[in-house]
């Protein structure tokens, strides 16, 4: 009975075709995902996002053998564990006893802009306490995209070419831990916290506020809960929100040849403006976030080139050594 059922299932699968089955499962999966995001908001927990990515990649493996599905687990499980360790370490970075930087960084920001604090200036001109503007919604979407762009881009690269995925993931991990080391050695209060402590005029934390514009109060509460529950409020220098957006633009632009690739840099520019307007970061945080991202990207490009040249030299020298050994002396 069971054997007959199995044969009928296999015949049905072959009749429909694995390609159509993958498409149907993907449509159903992304439909459920869209419904969840609308009903509950975009998740900011890295573990949840990793699970979602792995499920999506598993769908792409249907009908392609267990080996490909095993590669999904082998590739993504260690990466997820490393970033989960980063998240837990980041949340503990403010307990290491280093002095908190508030007034000094605020004074440096004012000096840089001729006595004007950009977050205070932007909120004075754009923020209306009793009215949510369309650009508040745009700012919230851009801010929230930070939690989605890196795992989604990694998934796309994995599907396209595993070697590209490895190159991008190595940059994500190095940048994450470079930021973590700085958070431990240089804990810094963001503008909204410095204002609360009296070092700046009042600054509202606006990063989640835009969800109210689309009547998604639940998403607002979810994002605020994530900010208050799992994040380190004094991990502002460097801004990895800006750093990861720039890293994504740099990496993808490096894969393209069209002049339109320059449009990719609009994303980090909008992210930077969003972070300053919403009170999440100083411009100085963005500058260092950009330097970290650019530095990691360039350093790994050089490392990859050195490793490739080393492999080519080994390949070229190997046959010559073999020929020398086989040639009789004299």
DSSP 47-106: HHHHHHHHHHHHHHTTTS-HHHHHHHHHHHHHHHHHHHHHHHHHHHGGGS-PPPBSHHHH
Q: What average pLDDT does this structure show over 238-252? A: 95
pLDDT surpassing 90 at residue 64:
no
Q: For residue 124, what pLDDT is reported?
A: 93
Domain-wise residue ranges, the chain: 14-314
CA dist 67 and 72 (Å) reads 9
pLDDT surpassing 60 at residue 186:
yes
What count of Cα atoms within 13 Å lies in the side-chain half-sphere of residue 120? 15
Q: Name the band, by pLDDT with cuts 50, 70 and 90, for residue 318.
A: low
pLDDT digits 0-9 by tens, 87-132: 666 556 556 667 888 888 999 999 999 899 999 999 999 999 888 8
One DSSP character per residue, 156-172 reads HHHHH-HHHHHHHHHHH
Q: For residue 301, what pLDDT is reported?
A: 93
What count of Cα atoms within 13 Å lies in the side-chain half-sphere of residue 236? 25
pTM higher than 0.85, yes or no? no
């Amino acid at each position: 009975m069971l054997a007959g059922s199995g044969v009928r299932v296999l015949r049905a699968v072959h009749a429909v075709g694995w390609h159509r089955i993958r498409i149907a499962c993907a449509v159903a999966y992304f439909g459920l995902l869209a419904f969840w995001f609308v009903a509950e908001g975009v998740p900011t927990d890295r573990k949840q996002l990793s699970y979602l990515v792995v499920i999506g990649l598993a769908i792409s493996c249907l009908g392609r053998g267990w080996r490909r599905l095993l590669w999904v687990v082998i590739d993504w499980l260690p990466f997820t564990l490393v970033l989960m360790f980063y998240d837990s370490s980041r949340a503990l970075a403010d307990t290491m006893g280093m002095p908190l930087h508030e007034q000094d960084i605020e004074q440096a920001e004012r000096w840089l802009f001729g006595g004007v604090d950009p977050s205070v200036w932007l909120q004075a001109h754009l923020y209306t306490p009793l009215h949510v503007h369309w650009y508040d919604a745009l700012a919230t979407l851009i801010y929230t995209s930070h939690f989605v762009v890196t795992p989604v881009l990694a998934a796309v690269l994995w599907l396209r070419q595993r070697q590209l995925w490895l190159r991008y993931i190595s940059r994500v991990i190095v940048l994450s831990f470079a930021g973590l080391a700085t958070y431990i050695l240089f804990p810094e209060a963001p503008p909204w916290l410095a204002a609360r402590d009296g070092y700046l005029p009042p600054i509202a934390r606006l990063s989640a506020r835009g969800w109210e514009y689309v009547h998604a109060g639940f998403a607002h509460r979810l994002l605020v809960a994530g900010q208050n529950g799992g994040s380190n409020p004094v991990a502002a220098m460097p801004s990895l929100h800006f750093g990861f957006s720039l890293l994504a633009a740099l990496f993808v632009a490096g894969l393209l040849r069209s002049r339109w690739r320059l449009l990719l840099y609009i994303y980090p520019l909008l992210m930077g403006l969003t972070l300053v307007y919403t009170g999440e970061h100083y411009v100085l945080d963005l500058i260092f976030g950009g330097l970290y991202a650019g530095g990691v990207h360039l350093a790994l490009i050089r490392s990859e080139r050195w490793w490739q040249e080393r492999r080519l030299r080994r390949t070229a020298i190997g046959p010559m050594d073999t020929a020398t050994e086989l040639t009789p002396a004299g």
